[in-house]
């Protein structure tokens, strides 16, 4: 009986990272955590640990050599080469062996300790540049320890639900090869790269469970509900039955999604619309194709730069742009310039009190023209190779001069490429993100100088409502359906029409099916969203008429509060379903 009480059903709540419901057994995954064991290892143990260490080195070297073979970029080659040299460093080998045999330590903690000595020395000599100087060394350490752990006990079994503190995108991809059913992590948010990859690979995921790794043991049966963000541990029979039904429905819905995606993009009364995808990684392209997005409405470029900082940025960037454009061409690929704060790029730069109101996006880029020109060069080279599909989107514009300067630099780079003998694409469009309120208010003015406008409702909302969208205490104040946002969107839509340029919405608002209808009603027929929500939005748009959507948008524009709008949306949905039935 007592063992039964340990097995009672309980629920943990996190944030949905990737949709889908799965039932399965857990596997625990720990990264870079040396097993600090106080148990002294005996002579036999010492020999085994030393052998394990060398085996890990051999494996790491093999992996690096494979990476090297697949690498054409010169500086990346050199970096990998340096890592190979580190792994074969005689001093490292001696020190680790010594640590194992003289202090009776496990190989992983010995590695940890020896690298700590190296890193400490850098820290003492070069505190200000510590991160930059140490990143490759720390990476080598992590790789060795990781290999040892996988080697020691491969805790992640095929077909299980993975429980971890956090995962890198690379790890998600790696584990997807083991057919893991789902992922549960302590840290991370919906927009973490791991979650984006999990969505792209169709692996249900829950993020932000805080200390789930401390609560959940391996081999526990759990239900992972990626829709609601719930993890149900030790589910009882009735709960299991209920979720099995939900899974069946989910499978049915997936089949329906496929059918919906094959239908044309038109409203019930025949007005056509365009649905595009927001992506960040080439791995997401399969989803984009599966759900038949008509191009990429937002290609985020921060991660490619941030992750590849030491890999000779421009070529890596180009390879991302190219791999996306090759698949998506002739449909458009809208590439957004780096949209990050300065602290992400320059390790020495000061922490800001209000980073969202600070040195980010185009503000930071224009202060670093070398960086900006590199990105423009990478984009425009891609455009020269795959003509007609590339467009450039400038984030965080708040003055017209910023846009004009980007235009100048773009022309400069085009000229440079032409001079080098490249046949450039002369029709690369340059558009702006509308996310700073003054630009939305002056949309007509800005529209005169831009080729297209893209409304980023996520940031626009936080700026208009003065609500930090990351601050949980005031999260109820953050609502993209706020009447003020709708009024601004309407104003921008009118500015686009007046200047004969396209207006699209690429924020979360577009992914909300009824809001999407309302946007259509305002005349915005280009929407871009995470690829996973495309079928749901499309279904809603297809099952309503444009005239109904117009009527809805008029009512929304006459509303004063979010509550009124929510009410309108709720009723609109039900009446529609009723008329359909």
Partner 1 sequence: MIKKKVTIKNDAGLHARPASALVKLASKFESDFYIHMYGYKVNGKSILGVMTLAAEKGAELELELDGPDEQEAVESIVELIDSGFGEVYKNENE
> Which C-beta is closer to partner 1: that of 90 or that of 264?
90
Alpha-carbon span 395 to 338, nearest angstrom: 8
Query: Is residue 47 a contact point for partner 1 (CB under 8 A)?
Result: no
Alpha-carbon span 81 to 145, nearest angstrom: 19
Alpha-carbon span 223 to 239, nearest angstrom: 9
Near partner 1 by CB under 8 A: residue from 4, 43, 44, 91: 91
Query: Is residue 499 a contact point for partner 1 (CB under 8 A)?
Result: no
Kindly state the smallest distance separating residue 126's Cβ from partner 1, in Å.
5
In the numeric block, which tokens belong to residue 399? 């003055």
Near partner 1 by CB under 8 A: residue from 86, 233, 450, 562: 86
DSSP per-residue codes, 367-404: H-HHHHHHHHHHHHHHHHHSTT-EEEEETT--SHHHHH
Near partner 1 by CB under 8 A: residue from 15, 32, 81, 303: 81
Query: Is residue 557 a contact point for partner 1 (CB under 8 A)?
Result: no
- 518 has catalytic annotation: no
Cross-strand bridge partners of residue 455: 434, 505
- Taking a C-beta distance cutoff of 8 angstroms, is the pair 111, 145 a contact? yes
Kindly state the smallest distance separating residue 424's Cβ from partner 1, in Å.
20
Query: Is residue 417 a contact point for partner 1 (CB under 8 A)?
Result: no
Query: Is residue 313 a contact point for partner 1 (CB under 8 A)?
Result: yes
- The residue from 149, 193, 385, 482 that is catalytic is 193
Kindly state the smallest distance separating residue 360's Cβ from partner 1, in Å.
19
Contacts with partner 1 by CB under 8 A: the residue count is 26
> Which C-beta is closer to partner 1: that of 115 or that of 463?
115
- The residue from 261, 389, 506, 518 that is catalytic is 506
User: Which residues have C-beta within 8 Å of that of residue 365, sequence separation ≥ 6?
Assistant: 337, 338, 371, 372, 375
Alpha-carbon span 415 to 183, nearest angstrom: 48
Residue 508: C-alpha distances to residues 23, 505, 557 (Å): 29, 9, 19
- Taking a C-beta distance cutoff of 8 angstroms, is the pair 185, 18 a contact? no
- 193 has catalytic annotation: yes
DSSP per-residue codes, 468-517: -TT-GGGGGG--TT-HHHHHHHHHHHHHHHHTT--EEE-SGGGGSHHHHH
Residue 93: C-alpha distances to residues 54, 89, 96, 110 (Å): 8, 6, 5, 11
In this structure, is the dihedral angle defined by the CA atoms of residues 58, 59, 62 and 67, taken in order, positive or negative? negative
Query: Is residue 77 a contact point for partner 1 (CB under 8 A)?
Result: no
Near partner 1 by CB under 8 A: residue from 50, 119, 173, 247: 119
Kindly state the smallest distance separating residue 30's Cβ from partner 1, in Å.
25
Compute, in degrees rounded to 10, the torsion defined by CA atoms 460, 464, 469, 475.
-140
Kindly state the smallest distance separating residue 60's Cβ from partner 1, in Å.
14
Query: Is residue 55 a contact point for partner 1 (CB under 8 A)?
Result: no
Near partner 1 by CB under 8 A: residue from 71, 168, 202, 314: 314
How many C-beta atoms lie closer than 10 Å to residue 158's C-beta? Answer: 10
Kindly state the smallest distance separating residue 375's Cβ from partner 1, in Å.
10
Kindly state the smallest distance separating residue 276's Cβ from partner 1, in Å.
30
Near partner 1 by CB under 8 A: residue from 89, 152, 166, 444: 89
> Which C-beta is closer to partner 1: that of 369 or that of 401?
369
* Segment near partner 1 (CB under 8 A); pick from 119-127, 248-256, 320-328, 454-462: 119-127
> Which C-beta is closer to partner 1: that of 46 or that of 86?
86
Q: Please count the residues of the chain.
A: 581
How many C-beta atoms lie closer than 10 Å to residue 116's C-beta? Answer: 12
Query: Is residue 85 a contact point for partner 1 (CB under 8 A)?
Result: yes
Kindly state the smallest distance separating residue 318's Cβ from partner 1, in Å.
13
> Which C-beta is closer to partner 1: that of 74 or that of 388?
74
Query: Is residue 312 a contact point for partner 1 (CB under 8 A)?
Result: yes
User: Which residues have C-beta within 8 Å of that of residue 577, sequence separation ≥ 6?
Assistant: none
Window 355 to 374, contacts with partner 1 (CB under 8 A): 370-371, 374
Catalytic residues: 193, 506
* List of residues contacting partner 1 (CB under 8 A): 78-79, 81-82, 85-86, 89-92, 118-119, 121-122, 125-126, 129, 133, 136-137, 312-314, 370-371, 374
């Amino acid at each position: 009986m007592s063992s039964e009480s340990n097995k009672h059903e309980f629920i943990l709540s996190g944030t949905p990272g990737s949709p889908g419901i799965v039932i399965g057994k857990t596997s625990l995954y720990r990264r870079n955590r040396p097993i600090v064991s106080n148990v002294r290892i005996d002579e036999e143990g010492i020999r085994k640990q030393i052998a394990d260490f060398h085996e890990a080195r051999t494996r790491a070297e093999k992996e690096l050599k494979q990476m090297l073979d697949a690498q054409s970029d010169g500086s990346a080659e050199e970096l990998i080469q340096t890592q190979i040299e580190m792994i074969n460093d005689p001093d490292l080998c001696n020190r680790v062996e010594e640590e194992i045999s003289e202090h009776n330590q496990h190989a992983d903690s010995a590695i940890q300790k020896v690298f700590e000595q190296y890193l400490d020395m850098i820290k003492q000599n070069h505190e200000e540049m510590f991160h930059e100087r140490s990143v490759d060394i720390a990476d080598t350490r992590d790789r060795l320890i990781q290999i040892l752990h996988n080697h020691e006990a491969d805790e992640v079994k095929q077909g299980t639900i993975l429980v971890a503190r956090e995962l890198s995108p690379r790890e998600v991809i790696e584990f997807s090869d083991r057919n893991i059913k789902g992922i549960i992590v302590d840290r991370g948010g919906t927009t973490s790269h791991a979650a984006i990859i999990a969505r792209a690979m169709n692996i249900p995921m829950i993020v932000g469970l805080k200390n789930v790794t401390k609560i959940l043991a391996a081999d526990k049966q759990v239900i992972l509900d990626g829709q609601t963000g719930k993890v149900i541990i030790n589910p009882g029979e009735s709960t299991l039955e209920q979720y099995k039904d939900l899974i069946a429905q989910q499978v049915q819905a997936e089949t329906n999604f496929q059918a919906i995606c094959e239908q044309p993009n038109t409203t019930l009364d025949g007005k056509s619309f365009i649905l595009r995808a927001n992506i960040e990684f080439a791995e997401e392209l399969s989803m984009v194709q599966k759900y038949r997005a008509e191009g990429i409405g937002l290609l985020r470029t921060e991660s490619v730069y941030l992750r590849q900082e030491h890999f000779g940025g421009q070529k890596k960037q180009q390879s991302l742009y190219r791999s996306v454009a090759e698949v998506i061409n002739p449909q458009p690929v809208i590439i957004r310039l780096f949209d990050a704060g300065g602290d992400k790029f320059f390790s020495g730069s000061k922490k800001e009190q209000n980073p969202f109101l600070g040195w980010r996006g185009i503000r930071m880029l224009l202060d670093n023209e070398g960086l900006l020109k590199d990105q423009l060069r990478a984009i425009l080279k891609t455009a020269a190779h795959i003509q007609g599909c590339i467009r450039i989107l400038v984030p965080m514009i708040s003055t017209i001069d910023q846009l004009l300067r980007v235009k100048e630099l773009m022309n400069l780079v085009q000229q440079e490429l032409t001079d080098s003998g490249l046949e450039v694409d002369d029709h690369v469009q340059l558009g702006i993100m509308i996310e700073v309120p003054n630009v939305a208010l002056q949309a007509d003015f800005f529209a005169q100088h831009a080729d297209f406008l893209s409304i980023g409702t996520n940031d626009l909302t936080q700026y208009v409502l003065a609500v930090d969208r990351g601050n949980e205490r005031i999260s109820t104040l953050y609502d993209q359906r706020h009447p003020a946002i709708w009024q601004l969107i309407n104003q921008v839509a009118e500015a686009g029409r007046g200047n004969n340029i396209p207006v699209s919405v690429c924020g979360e608002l577009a992914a909300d099916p009824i809001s999407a209808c309302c946007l259509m009603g305002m005349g915005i027929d280009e929407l871009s969203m995470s690829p996973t929500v495309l079928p749901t939005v499309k279904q809603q748009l297809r099952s309503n008429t444009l005239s109904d959507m117009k009527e809805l948008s008029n009512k929304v524009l006459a509303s004063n509060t979010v509550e009124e709008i929510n009410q309108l949306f709720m009723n609109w949905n039900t009446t529609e379903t009723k008329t359909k039935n």
